[in-house]
A and B are shown apart, each in its own frame.
Chain A
């Protein structure tokens, strides 16, 4: 027989459960993804530090090797500035992984200058200041948060003036630089788990679709990226199979080539 106190305890637990899940409908164990695929919203592009965090858990990475602070070329074409801006923000995340305060501060200033070049400097000034302050105090989580806010503010400012396509190029630039570093690390120390981080076929489709809708940006670098995404997609769209060391090396070559095209003048 259950004692009164035990019974009371069970009742309280049951009541708490009912309160928390009041009216909750159990989720179906399976859904029809083919039906869902037609109704899905746009993907949110992962930040480079989301990938770097997963990469870090596989083993220590010498992030200092990938820190880059040298100033790239100055561009006047807004799509080129947008791509470069995304790349430089990704460099900021790399500098944070390396805990390199001077590099973080330089990159913060570079982000500000590129944002001004594209006409959204005002929304970035407070973030650039916050990045410098947090780097001085070596508060790396705060720097990461500010870099995310910087990218978000840049894109919000662009969207406000209907420059959504430039905003998409910022995300693409960041993704390309993140993929370049990911493939460099995995090429040097191959692991199946590291290679699996490249399994992003839907993101490839997402970027390809966006680029196809930018015929007005008739620049060699945009055409190069479009072609390159077509080369990368079959290498990562492997279903349940593993991504091979050869594929990782190939993607690294492709992203090295694109990075060079993004940061240097034609």
Chain B
């Protein structure tokens, strides 16, 4: 089975999960990861290699968290965030080591999915800021995956 088929299976699994979970049901970070991978899936066709490692956790409404990531000039990166809480609104943004917004204008957010695109101008550490902007849940699981090409 090739990698793409496996990602396809994961996406199918996400769809099953999204139908199986009643609104407000307690999910897990793994469920959130499935949604982050679902957001990544179209980009795999464009040649992005999606890393197996990912970040995850839970946040309250209006809370933010920063993760730090080493990026290399010459590569192009997408960071995809997802949550299983369908009525949540989430966001992800990328800043350079000086704290300046570094993402491309095609970065997007749509309900319980969000993505940020960066073509690093310099090799070094970048800050990825994830946030749960709104959520009907007290705590909302989130997961962040990334890919590069």
A residues sitting closer than 8 Å to B (CB atoms) are 20-25, 27-33, 36, 39-47, 49-51, 53-55, 57-58, 130, 134, 139, 141-142, 144-146, 148-149, 151-152, 193, 196-203
Once the chains bind, are A141 and B100 in contact (CB under 8 Å)?
no
Once the chains bind, are A27 and B98 in contact (CB under 8 Å)?
no
**Sorted from nearest, which 6 A-B pairs have the closest CB atoms?**
A152-B52, A145-B3, A54-B74, A54-B72, A33-B99, A27-B93
B121-138 vs A, CB cutoff 8 Å, 1 = contact: the mask equals 011110101000110000
Once the chains bind, are B109 and A24 in contact (CB under 8 Å)?
yes
**Measured between alpha carbons, how far is A45 from B146 in the docked complex, in Å?**
12
Once the chains bind, are A193 and B73 in contact (CB under 8 Å)?
yes
Min CB–CB distance B7 → chain A (angstroms): 9
Q: Which residues of A contact B58 (CB under 8 A)?
A: none
Q: Assuming the A-B contacts A41-B66, A196-B73, are A151 and B123 also in contact, with contact meaning beta carbons closer than 8 angstroms in the complex?
A: no
**Measured between alpha carbons, how far is A202 from B97 in the docked complex, in Å?**
10
Once the chains bind, are B91 and A144 in contact (CB under 8 Å)?
no
- Our pick among A130, A134, A193, A199 for the contact of B74 (Cβ within 8 Å) is A193
Q: Which residues of A contact B54 (CB under 8 A)?
A: 44
**Measured between alpha carbons, how far is A152 from B33 in the docked complex, in Å?**
15
Once the chains bind, are B127 and A148 in contact (CB under 8 Å)?
no
29 contacts between A and B (CB under 8 A): A23-B134, A27-B129, A30-B95, A30-B99, A30-B101, A31-B129, A32-B99, A33-B99, A36-B66, A36-B129, A43-B68, A43-B70, A44-B53, A44-B55, A44-B67, A44-B146, A50-B148, A53-B148, A130-B1, A142-B3, A152-B52, A152-B53, A196-B122, A199-B122, A199-B123, A200-B70, A200-B124, A201-B125, A202-B68
